Amino acid sequence: MLLAALAELGVVPPEDVRAAVLALDAYYIPTRYPDALDFADAAQTYGGAEARAAVQRADTRDRLGRSCARYRCRRLITHAENRG
């Protein structure tokens, strides 16, 4: 969803962010809905290494979010100053 929204805006995220977002997508359903996995319990499927990797990927994704927020704030400030 994030990547699609960025594409609509014409924003191409860095490859590390794109990879992090795609990897995090794989965790969404099984960790949010524990009974979604027919073959295993999410708590048994994902261990400490996967959790640490997911946190690192989330940090990478959040870096993009903060960058976009700063960009949007700069645009809003510039727009307000130009209306001035």
Other C-beta atoms closer than 10 Å to the C-beta of 13 total 20
* C-beta of residue 65 within 8 angstroms of C-beta of residue 17: no
Q: Which two tokens stand for residue 62?
A: 């959040």
Q: Which two tokens stand for residue 51?
A: 């959790």
Report the C-alpha gap between 25 and 29 in whole angstroms.
8
Digitized pLDDT (tens) for each residue of the chain, 84 residues in all = 778 877 877 778 888 888 888 888 887 777 777 777 676 666 677 788 888 988 898 888 888 777 777 766 666 556 566 765
Q: Which two tokens stand for residue 4?
A: 């699609």
0.75 exceeded by pTM: no
Report the C-alpha gap between 4 and 14 in whole angstroms.
14
Domain extent listing, the chain: 13-83
